[in-house]
Amino acid sequence: MRIRLGANPIIWSNDDMRELGAETPLETCLTQARQIGFEGMELGHKFPRDPRELAATLGRFGLACVSGWYSAQLLARDARSELICLRPHLDLLKAVGSSVLVFAEVSGAIHGDLQRPLSQRPRLKANEWREFGRRITELAAMTAAEGVRLAYHHHMGTVVQSEEDIDTLMDATGADVGLLLDTGHAAFAGADPALLARRYASRIGHLHAKDVRALVCERSKAENWSFLRAVLAGVFTVPGDGNVAFERVFRELRDYSGWLILEAEQDPGIADPLTYASLGFRNLRRLVAEHVQ
């Protein structure tokens, strides 16, 4: 397959609010993921970070290690200093055969704070984007030289959230910087993920597929909620259970090759992970068959 289906463990155990799914063993997550039919997993906080142990753990379930989130602070340090901080994570990805780095700038980010509304998220001034983009491009060239492509993850509550932010970032960075298109975060931020897919088709290096419940999204904006409050209220769900027009998105991804990752951070006590991950898998497999393969 030109496109491989993977999952993010946030469906089972949340990384930003670890009490969600805290009682769920990693083995349950991996067993269910394989049972559903996924080929790979992204990393989460319950995964071992020793390369041999990680490979052995995933190997028992026949799953590949797709990638893993990295929290960058390039607004506070230069590219070479960032590479030093990134090194353990980068070496882990290389050791287990991952070729993509999920990368997000978290300087001043508020996505992990239940109390702070999204209106307080950090923003860059016009004259700050060029240097920010230069540093990301320099770092991306260094990871690419080691066989790992940087895929920038736009994310609610961070400096790259809106469609304007994404456009400015892409304009300020070179070709070594790939885009991680996250349909859920794009829609939540008010962007059209299908238009983003069309505009940046040649630079999309990784895909996160999740749906958005429009009514929850609208209420969260009207009442100025925090990101985590919106998550707890069910703003995200799996593809086919919300309001994102995935057919339009996938028609723009005809030439995409790589991993397609199911995500949907919800309260697993309310949204049973096996049920929702199974639904998401079926819908993604259908969308790929109809529009991409």
Instruction: Tell me the average confidence (pLDDT) per consecutive run of 10 residues in the chain, 293 residues long.
Output: 92 96 98 98 98 98 98 97 98 98 98 97 96 98 98 98 98 98 98 98 97 98 98 98 97 95 96 98 96 79
For the chain, the structural domain boundaries read 3-291
Distance CA 290, CA 293 (A): 7
3-state secondary structure string, the chain? Answer: CCEEEEECHHHCCCCCCCCCCCCCCHHHHHHHHHHHCCCEECCCCCCCCCHHHHHHHHHCCCCEECCCEEEECCCCCCHHHHHHHHHHHHHHHHHCCCCEEEEEECCCCCCCCCCCCHHHCCCCCHHHHHHHHHHHHHHHHHHHHCCCEEEEECCCCCCCCCHHHHHHHHHHCCCCEEEEEEHHHHHHCCCCHHHHHHHCHHHEEEEEECEECHHHHHHHHHCCCCHHHHHHCCCEECCCCCCCCHHHHHHCCCCCCEEEEECCCCCCCCCCHHHHHHHHHHHHHHHHHHHCC
pLDDT of residue 283: 98
pLDDT of residue 293: 64
β-bridge partners, 5: 260
* CATH superfamily ID and name for 3-291: Divalent-metal-dependent TIM barrel enzymes (3.20.20.150)
pLDDT of residue 292: 85
Check: CB of residue 254 under 8 Å from CB of residue 3: no
Other Cβ atoms within 10 Å of 46 Cβ, number: 19
Other Cβ atoms within 10 Å of 48 Cβ, number: 15
N- to C-terminal Cα distance for the chain? Answer: 8
pTM: 0.97
